[in-house]
Amino acid sequence: MPRELHGPPEPAPAASRRLFAPLLWFVAAALIAVAGPRCASDSGSSAPAHIGDTFVVVHRGTSDADAWARLVDSLGPQLPGHVPLAPPPAEARAWQTTHLLYWIDDAARPSLARSFDPAVLRTTIAGIRARLASPLFGQGEDLRRDPLGLADLGAAHATPPIPSTPAGDLLSADGGTLLIHLQTGETPASISSHVHAQLTAHAVDDSSRLEIHTFPLPRQSSQTSIITNLAILALTLALTLRRTRQSLIIAFTVGAGAALTGGWLGGTSASLALAAAAALTIVRGTATAWVCVGVALLPLLLLPSFDPATPLAWGLAVALYAFAAWFVVPPLYVATRARPVEPATPPRPLPPVAALVACTALVAAGAAWLRQAPVATHEADTPAAMRPLLDIGRTASLTSRGDTPVAALEAAARDARAVSDALPGARIDGPARHVLDEATLAARAAALAPLDLPGRGELLRAILRDHGLRPDAFSEFLKILDPGEQPSAGAALAGPLGPWLTASLRQDASGYAVTTRVLLPADLPDPLPPDLHGPAVAAHRARRDLPGHLALALVAGAWLSAFFAWLRARRLAPALAAAAVAATAQVAALAGVVAIHGEISHALLPALLVVGAVTATLATRPTPASPAPHLTGALACFAAPGLVLLASDDPTTHATGLVLAVGAALGGLLAAHATPGLSALFQPREARP
Amino acid sequence: MPRRTALALLACLALRPASVAAAPSRAIIKRIEAWRRGGAAGLTARYRCTRRTSMLWDPLVVHGTLVFAAPDRLELRDDEPTGATTRLAGGVLTIGANDPALPSVPTPPPATAWLHEHLLALFAARDADALQQGARLSVPRGPGLQLLLSPERGHPAEAVVEHLRVRIDPDTGALLELEWAHPEGDRVTLELSDHRLAPV
């Protein structure tokens, strides 16, 4: 039998030293809990801690049309951190028209040449003349600026379908919904008060409706979640252990641990750590068990979508909780004269074949469910009111940099062209829509040269006259047939769009940066251009990568579980049985999530790994004669955070709550009833009893 | 619709809270009342369409037949082979040159929906609410019973329609003349005659 500590040591008899560690634990936790927020607010900076994207949607309701029109024109610039989503429409239109021929890419070059064919020119103008007879022709069509319909050939630079206000905000086609983009650290409540002040100032009545959406999605307060967790934990432990003092001691100790680790472990991970620590404390986890749980998140290092600091933060937190289980809880039991918990009733193990059948059935059913599981991508969920104007779930971002404004704009144009080539059907928005890089300009000027545009301009004048049309009415179009004026970055900065382009540039230590928005097409290729980022791209990659990442993390987790089980039992059969039971619990928990919640995501992986590690720990006993762990109490520890996460306002945590509740329940049952049978099956035939 | 019901509806319209919409003046109510008399399930009429635009040396005048079928089908067929046939049905506008050798026209932008919806509302069930949707009503100067509809301030249709003027027959409620003006100065006038109504 290996030399190993079995559970926390018995407390030392010296009473003065006995309570030193608990005192230190709770005083440190109290100091951090009290001083933590003050330190944050004492930073002396009035700048917001986090600047996120906020979208304000204002619905007109039945308010007066004139008051609404005034509000639409002026609301955006009055709000903090206003970022125009579009350039001033009149200036953008003039700029786009002036350089119409340059927006046409190589693919549309044959169509452009055909448009200037003399016979086609005559037919097109005859068609315009015929349709002018229709009373409804010419409404909204830019006949004077583009009689040949060339704008359709430059699809990537065509006029966006969403109208914009002079302030650069988006307005729905019926004019009744306004969308404003802010980049600010102000809270939604503060922004709402700003908007309502403007509504009042513009005499827009109460029928208008306001929605404020922030990205990334706000998370429920970690503090509230932890306190609720602790309350439910104390209650469930008291019911399952039937020992009030022990339950309260464990709840207060892990609560203090949550305060101590709150600086580096928050959100769902804090709830997971709390549950795992409470469970290991109840079952008097060995050092190996604590290490097994402490390294549970190491497989996340294999996945690029997770922060590498997460496993480290988790390990540190578990180490701290292990200290509490060893040096804080036992002295408190003694000091409060808490009666020991009744020993757990040894579970009735399933026969080996039945255990194998149960685990195989669970894994097979789980795998079948998982095969059709849709992948949740909550980060790309666009609120319904925003979707017609700006679909965040389909919009990617592209950041381009340069030493000077001109260089940054050129880089943006270059990057946008590369994305357009890689993603046919993508729509480019932002400064890159209005600028071309030097290489493209040279290529397009060279391609336009053989068309003899000045000569075709003269021919067009003659055809217009022949059909009773005045060439002067089309002078704006005839002017663009002189290809000398190019939409270069320098010309754009000096032109009518200059102020907007300058405002769109961000300056930092490394120069200037420009952000381009890319509306992704419905069918995305794989892989996407690497420079694209944003919720839509993350969602696409999550959908593609999740099955592989899930398999990798679960296999690595199973290996770790088996390794630590072997360290504890020094026999291969119990180690394999513990790993098999843990993997079964994980797969079944995932299938439960699919069946109940409907979809899975990367966010479930930490909870799955922790459930697997705890299950493996509960399933491993150094010898068959070792006392059975108090499984009911351990399960109760996972029920508390499971319930809290399930009841949370944040929909992204519901599935994690299910993993904890379903996974821990299944893990506990399998650890108790299936492990001995599986262990017997894995033993060499000659070693079987 | 009985006169009493129509008057009750108009009274409701006039008594709506000021925050919802400015109360229509007596002159507007008089014109809406006259217009409501002309409701029909269908209409066939002759038209004379005059387009004044800076694109043409001279105003373009064409003659043709207008056919309206409730609730939302409107067709204007030019008599001349050099003209066009315009169809507005189910919210979709198609304009085809009468000469089949000439190319088809691209779909107009959504901003023109305002004009289409109000044209159909004028011909259709004479629903005052549909007429006022997204529009400001006023009484223009000039002879006869006229009503002027303009897009509400800030409405995207402002970019393509300045106003839609209607002349109504004071006795029958028939539409005698429609004129819409483009912000760039173009003006299209549709004079209707020989009205043949289909019964409601």
Nearest CA in chain A to B18: A64
Could A469 and B108 be called an inter-chain contact, meaning their C-beta atoms sit closer than 8 Å? no
Could B85 and A205 be called an inter-chain contact, meaning their C-beta atoms sit closer than 8 Å? no
Tokens of A70: 């005034």
Please write the tens of the pLDDT for every residue from B145-197. 899 999 888 777 888 889 999 999 888 888 899 999 988 888 999 999 998 88
Nearest CA in chain A to B116: A136
Q: Rounded to 5 degrees, what angle do the CA atoms A217, A223, A228 make?
A: 105
Residue A158 confidence (pLDDT): 61
Distance CA A410, CA A445 (A): 17
Tokens of A535: 């919720």
Q: Which residues in chain A show pLDDT less than 70? A: 1-17, 36-51, 139-141, 154-161, 206-207, 216-222, 343-344, 376-380, 483, 622-629, 685-689
CA dihedral A100, A103, A105, A110 (to 10 degrees): -10
| Distance between A122 CA and the closest CA of chain B, angstroms | 10
Nearest CA in chain B to A119: B102
CA dihedral B54, B57, B62, B66 (to 10 degrees): 0
Q: For residue B187, which residues of chain A lie inside 8 Å, CB to CB?
A: none
Cβ-proximal residues to A241 (8 Å cutoff; 6+ apart), any chain: A247, A282, A341, A630, A633
Nearest to B156 among A124, A138, A163 (CB): A163
Residue A400 confidence (pLDDT): 92
* Contacting B residues, span 15-44, partner chain A, CB-CB under 8 Å: 19-22
| Closest C-alpha among A574, A592, A557 to residue A674 | A574
Cα A499 to its chain centre, rounded Å, is 33
Partners of B181 in the β-ladder: B163, B187
Distance CA A664, CA A279 (A): 10
Nearest CA in chain A to B52: A132
Residue A425 confidence (pLDDT): 81
Residue B4 confidence (pLDDT): 55
How many residue pairs bridge chain A and chain B with CB atoms within 8 Å of each other?
A: 145
Distance CA A240, CA A351 (A): 27
Distance CA B103, CA A562 (A): 74
Residue B78 confidence (pLDDT): 93
Nearest CA in chain B to A150: B106
Residue A264 confidence (pLDDT): 78
Could B95 and A134 be called an inter-chain contact, meaning their C-beta atoms sit closer than 8 Å? yes
Nearest to A69 among B93, B111, B154 (CB): B154
Count Cα atoms within 13 angstroms, Cβ side, for B19.
10
Distance CA A369, CA A385 (A): 33
| Distance between A118 CA and the closest CA of chain B, angstroms | 15
Give SS3 for A78: helix
Residues of A with CB under 8 A from a CB of B: 62-66, 68-69, 72-73, 123-124, 126-127, 129-141, 143-144, 149, 152, 161, 163, 171, 173-175, 205, 207, 468-470, 473-474
Could A470 and B160 be called an inter-chain contact, meaning their C-beta atoms sit closer than 8 Å? no
Residue A638 confidence (pLDDT): 81
User: Is any Cβ of chain A less than 8 angstroms from the Cβ of B103?
Assistant: yes
Plot region of A210 (φ>0 → left; ψ -120 to 50 → alpha; else → beta): beta
Distance CA A209, CA A196 (A): 10
| B109, B100 Cβ separation under 8 angstroms | no
User: Is any Cβ of chain A less than 8 angstroms from the Cβ of B155?
Assistant: yes
Q: What is the mean pLDDT of residues B37-53?
A: 87
| A168, A88 Cβ separation under 8 angstroms | yes
Instruction: For B28-131, list the strands marked E by DSSP.
Output: 42-52, 60-69, 73-78, 84-89, 92-97
- The reply to whether the predicted model has a pTM over 0.90 is no
| Distance between A297 CA and the closest CA of chain B, angstroms | 53
Q: For residue B57, which residues of chain A lie inside 8 Å, CB to CB?
A: 468-470
| B138, B165 Cβ separation under 8 angstroms | no
| Distance between A52 CA and the closest CA of chain B, angstroms | 30
Could B156 and A175 be called an inter-chain contact, meaning their C-beta atoms sit closer than 8 Å? yes
Q: Is the dihedral of CA A606, A612, A618, A622 positive or negative?
A: negative
Q: For residue A207, which residues of chain B lie inside 8 Å, CB to CB?
A: 19
User: Is any Cβ of chain A less than 8 angstroms from the Cβ of B101?
Assistant: yes
Nearest CA in chain A to B136: A65
- Band (pLDDT 50/70/90 cuts) for residue B23 is low
Could B103 and A127 be called an inter-chain contact, meaning their C-beta atoms sit closer than 8 Å? yes
